[in-house]
Amino acid sequence: MSTSALKTKAVANGTGQDLWRRAKRIIPGGNMLLSKRAEMFLPDNWPAYFSKSKGCKVWDLDGNEYIDMCIMGIGTNTLGYGNDEVDAAVRATIEAGNMSTFNCPEEVYVAEKLIAMHPWADMARFSRSGGEANVIAIRIARAAAGKDKVAFCGYHGWHDWYLAANLGDGENLAGHLLPGLDPKGVPQDLRGSVLPFNYNRFDELEAIVARHDVGVIKMEVVRNEGPRDDFLRKVRELATKRGIVLIFDECTSGFRQTFGGIHKMYDVEPDMAVFGKALGNGYALTAVIGRREVMESAQSTFISSTFWTERIGPTAALKTLEVMERVKSWERITRIGEAVTARWMALGKKHGLPLTTSGIPAITAFGFKSANALAYKTLITQEMLKKGYLASTLLFVCTEHSPEIIDGYFAALDPVFALIKECEDGRDVAALLDGPVCHGGFKRLN
Ligand code: PMP
């Protein structure tokens, strides 16, 4: 369907908003993922639910079509929604059977593939969510190290081991993607078991390791900024010297700049790596890979779950890896992301709006240097939604973000930037908003 065929009828209080209000009464928090709450975008007017998705397009419950220029399923679909080849493979698996008393062969093929892509790794385990894969990695690493304490940097999911960082000091996770996470329900006894350090602060990690008997270092390789001053190599050397198990969490960074972990770009090898998100192009498969001597420790503990054996996830991942390798998707999405980032900067300059940008090219973000930044983000979402775009200040790029799509997006964004400039010059942004400003992090909804 061409962009001109986009329906742009008013979405305010559509069927999706009604359903979202119903959801919040019977589902605590409204849904299963913070990043997909309507309040994170446009509290009273976000369509919230989809009836269909394809390529980089999404349809709401009222049949309105949108181009997804924001989180693309929160980074799950680098090959676009409903990739034909991946979906055909999944359909074949559904026809043949998704579950049985036997294991699915595809899990062995995916393990072989991931190990071949990462020559330092010898073994793999699978699960179905990123948080889960991180728990598996932490359990195996603690077992291998024979020590409990974890030094970490970045975001690694919702589980006890990680949220324990906020026991006693609610600010510990503030610099690690999601501020405001409350650790209620996490046993107080875990206090002090995980120790945060900031990215590019090797001195902080050194100080932690000097004071505590650390068995595991877990970190994202890159999130908002790249490594400076040989940071990753220094972390690797410290871990090796101290016999600490080093885990790279590549749930989000994997398959976006290299075929596999982004650590391949920096020539630093961990002892374990965790993958999620893009691995199955929208179908659930997450993985932990690692060196044999570390991974074998999985045998000295108990890690086992029913739905880790279903067949759709491994089927989808196997086909996704094949398509990614053939079309070199990581190169394409990196190029698209670099172009988008440059055009955001140029548009800011055109309108006299100083911007910051962050992230790897395929997960790119911009920010306004203004006290009204969150209101401006809300205004972008509101105005772009009217024009048929799902937009915020963050873009997960996919291969379906064609030059025409990107051109259309920038044509639509230009007048919104002009409006924001007027607000910077004194116009009241609140008067332009049809509802409340979006949330900037975790908050209770009721
Ligand atoms: N690790 C990283 C680096 C992530 O970005 C995420 C998700 N944003 C997770 C772990 C958690 O993955 P999931 O939401 O699938 O549990």
CA–centroid distance, 156 to ligand 1, in Å, is 6
Nearest ligand 1 atom to alpha carbon 250: 3
What's residue 240's pLDDT? 98
Q: What pLDDT does 444 receive?
A: 67
Average pLDDT on 190-219 reads 97
What atom in ligand 1 is closest to the CA of residue 286? 15
- Whole-angstrom distance, CA of residue 92 vs CA of residue 417: 47
Nearest atom, ligand 1, residue 75 CA: 8
Per-residue pLDDT of 36-74, as tens digits, reads 999 999 999 999 999 999 999 999 999 999 999 999 999
Ligand 1 pocket test target in 34, 138, 150, 156 with most atoms within 8 Å of CB: 156
User: What per-residue confidence (pLDDT) applies to 277?
Assistant: 96
Three-class secondary structure of residue 367 per DSSP: strand
Q: Which atom of ligand 1 is nearest to the CA of 223?
A: 3
For residue 13, name the pLDDT band (cuts at 50, 70, 90): low
Average pLDDT over residues 392-413: 98
Cα 307 to chain center, whole Å?
Answer: 22
247-267 pLDDT, tens digit per residue, is 999 999 999 999 999 999 999
Residue 283: which pLDDT band, with cuts at 50, 70 and 90? very high
The pLDDT of residue 403 is 98
Phi, psi (deg, nearest 5) at residue 379: -65, -40
Ligand 1 centre to CA of 424 (Å) is 35
Ligand 1 binding residues, C-beta < 6 A = 129-131, 134, 154-157, 220, 249, 251-252, 276
Q: Would you state the structure tokens that stand for residue 391, as one six-digit string?
A: 């937009």
Question: 218 CA distance to ligand 1 centroid (A)?
Answer: 13
Q: Whose CA is nearest to atom 12 of ligand 1?
A: 130
pLDDT at position 177: 61
Task: Note the pLDDT tens digit of each residue in 296-305.
Answer: 999 999 999 9
Q: Which two tokens stand for residue 157?
A: 């999911």
Taking the centre of ligand 1 as the mean of its atom positions, its distance from the CA of residue 155, in whole angstroms, is 7
pLDDT by residue (tens digit) across 122-178?
999 999 999 999 999 999 999 999 999 999 999 999 999 999 998 887 777 777 766
The CA–CA distances, whole Å, from 358 to 36, 40, 261 equal 21, 19, 19
Cα separation, 16 vs 29, whole angstroms: 16
**Average confidence (pLDDT) over 262-280:** 98
Higher pLDDT, 8 or 165: 165
Q: What is the mean pLDDT of residues 87-104?
A: 98
- Asked if 445 and 30 touch (Cβ cutoff 8 Å), the reply is yes
Strands of 228-352, DSSP E: 245-249, 272-275, 286-290
Residue nearest to atom 8 of ligand 1 (CA): 252
Whether the Cβ atoms of residue 382 and residue 10 lie closer than 8 Å to each other: no
Cα(181) to centroid of ligand 1, in Å?
Answer: 15
Give me the pLDDT at residue 163, please.
Answer: 94
Q: What backbone torsions phi and psi does residue 282 show, to the nearest 5 degrees?
A: 105, -20
pLDDT for position 182:
83
Ligand 1 center to 131 CA (angstroms): 6
Residue 7, pLDDT above cutoff 50: no
User: What's the mean pLDDT when you consider all of the chain?
Assistant: 94
Percent of the chain residues past pLDDT 70, beyond the cut: 95
- The number of the ligand 1 atom at minimal distance from the alpha carbon of 220 is 3
pTM: 0.95
- Distance, CA 75 to ligand 1 centroid (Å)? 10
List b or e across 96-105, with b for residues whose CB sees 16 or more CB atoms inside 10 angstroms.
Answer: eeeeeeeebe
- Test site for ligand 1: of 32, 277, 396, 442, most ligand atoms within 8 A of the Cβ: 277
Q: Tell which one of 251, 262, 263 to mutate to probe ligand 1, the residue whose CB is within 8 A of the most ligand atoms.
A: 251
Ligand 1, atom 5: closest residue by C-alpha: 252
* Residue 160: Cβ within 10 Å count: 15
pLDDT of 344 > 70? The answer is: yes
Q: What is the distance between the alpha carbons of residues 288 and 141, in angstroms, rounded to a whole number?
A: 11
Cα(304) to centroid(ligand 1), Å: 20
- Give the Cα separation of 246 and 269 in Å (integer): 9
**Secondary structure element (H or E) that encloses residue 239, with its range:** helix 231-242
Q: Are 152 and 195 in contact (CB under 8 A)?
A: yes
Closest approach atom of ligand 1 to CA 252? 5
